[in-house]
Amino acid sequence: MLRFDEVSLEFRGGGGVHDLSFRADAGEIVALVGLNGAGKTTLMRIALGMLRPQSGGVQVLGHPIEKLPTADWAGVGALIEVPLAYPELTARENLRIACLLRGADPALVPTALDDWMLAPVADRRFRRLSLGTRQRVGLAAAMQHDPRLIVLDEPSNALDPASVMLLREQLLQRAADGAGVLVSSHHLDEVARIADRVILMNRGRLIGELDTAGTDLERVFFDRIRVDDAQILEEVR
């Protein structure tokens, strides 16, 4: 569903991502974890064509991203950083627009409202919703059209525990139905419950995978980051 082959993008003044290679297959949940500033959001923006790499190749739904037919983008669902919505429109109206933009049937909206526990606020303007409820509207918009590839950047932001459980159930069900899922998070325990693979990212590079069957995941995570930082400093000297 998604493949990176030696992808790099460097920003003026430093930063960016370097030599990224990984894949997310159908029916698989791949979690991307790293400290703030590690490059997770940049990677996801590249995956969605929002940024263009300087080298390497990206494939989405089996096509080079630059050749992916416009109609096939409807098979992708994404939420990057914050939900994109019209603040003066209601939750229901925003979901309807999201359907129309993807060529999906607006009749899907009532089910999405129920799935994400949004029915009680369906006719409330988006700008009047709490942060957690706005996030659920964004997640509903990203997934209501049954996309084949789901890309979510820190999707549990602002969610209460009940909503986090709901998100977990939704992602597991989507993967069981054959969707490929790429999700970034800094909540290691949460992603370990659902991810088939957890990829570590540090300073714009992928530095390996985390064994979710292990214990004390946070300690292992920070140890791996410290070792990688030490190796980088040694190479610089």
pLDDT tens for the chain, 237 residues long, are 999 999 999 998 888 999 999 999 999 999 999 999 999 999 999 999 999 999 999 999 999 999 999 999 999 999 998 999 999 999 999 999 999 999 999 999 999 999 999 999 999 999 999 999 999 999 999 999 999 999 999 999 999 999 999 999 999 999 999 999 999 987 888 888 899 999 999 999 999 999 887 778 888 999 999 999 998 888 776
Cα separations (Å) of 191 from 35, 68, 88, 126, 145? 15, 29, 34, 28, 23
* Sign of the alpha-carbon dihedral angle for 207, 209, 214, 215: positive
pLDDT single digits (tens) 152-192: 999 999 999 999 999 999 999 999 999 999 999 878 888 88
In this structure, whether the domain defined by 2-82+151-236 belongs to CATH 3.40.50.300 is answered with yes
